[in-house]
């Protein structure tokens, strides 16, 4: 804790020293956001030495963790104690603070909700330069509750105390095929409601949509022993295995990172799913953060756009989104998405919020399905950039859902504040950032300043 206090003092001094009028931006090695800033004055805010696991308490099943700690580092610290965070987002370099302020999700979310729901305490550097401890039972409860989905517009998480979940060494997977989206959603709801499948308890649930006639639910269960374990960190590719086998076994660590090696299926864009290319790429480069850096370079220099123009290809729109739709409308969303966007595969992950969180107003106790889709789609003739994304936004909210804000958004200001509870946001913003040193949620997540 002494080292942590020193790091807190350092970032606080760094924040105080920022030039007037500059929007702070955390100096991080990696990012999993897909909002590329345009214009505006930004200043790098040093977060040096805030990326460690301070302690793990196996008896209390809690961990004290600095905000910039990646889940890869956090899991490596907790698994030797037979413990893991309640929800481990699927990419290794997502940070704990980022997942809490930006809403991570994974296959345990049907039971445990989102990462912020297992947080007991947060130490936050607020917009007005204070360092405060916020909990659900103290004078900063309003900040504690508004922090999830605030994306660094209320402050930055410096330290978090989180609850941990006991684990077993292995995870047994069962891939259940469906040819009808309606039946798939009904089965998902039944499994999540009963927390059972074929009379056995269920610890993890997610799914993959390959097309209207081919989708799978993947049910995971902790196990003490395994007859074998698969390895998807080299030549073999996890998502392809879903279509070819009904049963699989992974170590718990490999299960948590099963999607990271190929960034789900997005590594296709870089050619590394071709056997010859894959055999030449070092294993240490088969990681989501490597692909994310390549995307950033492409965005900066417009390489893909130049090639498309040279080949006279249609103009492409980036469609990188995660949306939550009530499970009873899940089949409707898939029908819309396949007909109007057509991107496959699509990730399907059920979640149920355990409480009411004002900045992301999902109905407590109601089962939603997160649909994740990431790639490029050709724009219809005469349509401009944002066409598909705006269509998705409209449909999601028409179906009673919500959209995560880690990527591009196109909402008009009034609509945005209605959907994302501006009435709850602004009193907290004024209390902890009265001078507006940090961008507000609309400016950061929609205008991309």
Averaged confidence pLDDT in the chain:
92
Categorize the per-residue pLDDT at 228 as very low, low, confident or very high, splitting at 50, 70 and 90: very high
Question: Do residues 245 and 168 lie in contact, with contact meaning Cβ atoms separated by under 8 Å?
Answer: no
For the segment 181-213, what is each residue's pLDDT rounded down to a tens digit?
Answer: 999 999 999 999 999 999 999 999 999 999 999
Q: Cα separation of 203 and 360, whole Å?
A: 25
User: Three-state secondary structure along 342-401?
Assistant: CCCCEEEEEEECCCCCCCCCCCCCCEEEEEEEEEEEECCCCCCCCHHHHHHHHHHHHCCC
Categorize the per-residue pLDDT at 307 as very low, low, confident or very high, splitting at 50, 70 and 90: low
Do strands 83-85 and 155-166 pair parallel, antiparallel, or not at all (unpaired)?
antiparallel
Over residues 38-54, mean pLDDT = 76
Residue 39 region by backbone torsions, left for phi larger than 0, else alpha for psi between -120 and 50, else beta: left
Answer whether residue 302 shows pLDDT above 80. no
Q: Cα separation of 369 and 389, whole Å?
A: 18
Over residues 417-443, mean pLDDT = 95
Q: Cα separation of 155 and 387, whole Å?
A: 32
pLDDT at 42 (0 to 100): 64
- Extract the tokens encoding 64: 């004290």
pLDDT at 404 (0 to 100): 93
pTM of the full predicted structure?
Answer: 0.93
Residue 427 region by backbone torsions, left for phi larger than 0, else alpha for psi between -120 and 50, else beta: alpha
For the segment 87-113, what is each residue's pLDDT rounded down to a tens digit?
Answer: 999 999 999 999 999 989 999 999 999
What is the largest distance, in Å, between two alpha-carbon atoms of the chain?
A: 62
Answer whether residue 300 shows pLDDT above 90. no
Q: Which domains does the chain have, with CATH numbers?
A: 2-167+426-445 (3.30.465.10), 170-258 (no CATH), 302-410 (3.30.70)
Answer whether residue 34 shows pLDDT above 70. no
For the segment 353-412, what is each residue's pLDDT rounded down to a tens digit?
Answer: 888 889 988 999 999 999 999 999 999 988 988 999 999 999 999 999 999 998 899 999
CA 166-172-176 angle, to 5 degrees, is: 125
Please count the helices (runs of H) and the strands (runs of E) in the chain.
16, 18
pLDDT at 328 (0 to 100): 98
Of residues 38 and 133, more confidently modeled? 133
Over residues 64-85, mean pLDDT = 97
Question: Do residues 338 and 211 lie in contact, with contact meaning Cβ atoms separated by under 8 Å?
Answer: yes
């Amino acid at each position: 804790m002494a080292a942590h206090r020193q790091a807190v003092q350092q970032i606080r001094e760094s924040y105080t020293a920022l030039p007037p009028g500059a929007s702070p931006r955390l100096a991080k090695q990696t990012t999993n956001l897909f909002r590329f800033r345009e214009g505006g004055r930004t200043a790098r805010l040093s977060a040096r030495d805030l990326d460690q696991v301070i302690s793990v308490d196996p008896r209390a099943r809690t961990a004290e963790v600095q905000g910039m700690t990646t889940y890869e580092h956090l899991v490596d610290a907790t698994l030797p104690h037979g413990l893991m965070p309640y929800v481990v987002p699927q990419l290794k370099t997502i940070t704990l603070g980022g997942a809490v302020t930006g809403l991570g999700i994974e296959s345990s979310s049907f039971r445990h909700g989102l990462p912020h729901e297992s947080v007991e305490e947060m130490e936050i550097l607020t917009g007005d330069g204070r360092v405060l401890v916020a909990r659900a039972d103290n004078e900063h409860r309003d900040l504690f509750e508004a922090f999830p989905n605030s994306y660094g517009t209320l402050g930055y998480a410096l330290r978090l105390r989180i609850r941990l979940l006991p684990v077993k060494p292995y995870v047994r997977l069962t891939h259940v095929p469906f040819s009808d989206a309606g039946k798939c959603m009904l089965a998902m709801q039944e499994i999540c409601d009963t927390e059972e499948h074929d009379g056995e308890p269920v610890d993890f649930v997610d799914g993959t949509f390959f097309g209207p006639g081919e989708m799978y639910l993947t049910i995971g269960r902790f196990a003490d022993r395994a007859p074998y374990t698969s390895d998807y960190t080299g030549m073999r590719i996890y998502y392809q295995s879903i279509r070819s086998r009904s049963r699989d076994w992974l170590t718990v660590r490999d299960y948590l990172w099963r999607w990271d090696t190929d960034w789900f299926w997005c590594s296709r864009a870089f050619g590394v799913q071709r056997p010859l290319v894959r055999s030449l790429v070092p294993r240490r480069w088969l990681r989501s953060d490597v692909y994310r850096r390549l995307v950033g370079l492409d965005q900066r220099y417009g390489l893909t756009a130049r090639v498309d123009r040279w080949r006279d290809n249609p103009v492409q729109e980036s469609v990188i989104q995660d949306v939550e739709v009530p499970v009873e409308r899940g089949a409707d969303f898939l029908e819309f998405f396949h007909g109007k966007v057509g991107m496959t595969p699509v990730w399907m992950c059920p979640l149920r919020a355990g409480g009411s969180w004002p900045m992301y107003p999902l109905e407590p106790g109601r089962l939603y399905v997160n649909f994740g889709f990431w790639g490029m789609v050709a724009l219809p003739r005469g349509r401009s950039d944002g066409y598909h994304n705006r269509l998705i936004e409209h449909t999601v909210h028409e179906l009673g859902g919500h959209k995560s804000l880690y990527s591009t958004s196109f909402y008009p200001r009034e609509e945005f504040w209605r959907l994302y509870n501006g009435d709850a946001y602004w009193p907290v913003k004024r209390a902890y950032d009265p001078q507006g040193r940090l961008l507000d949620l609309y400016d950061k997540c929609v205008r991309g300043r």
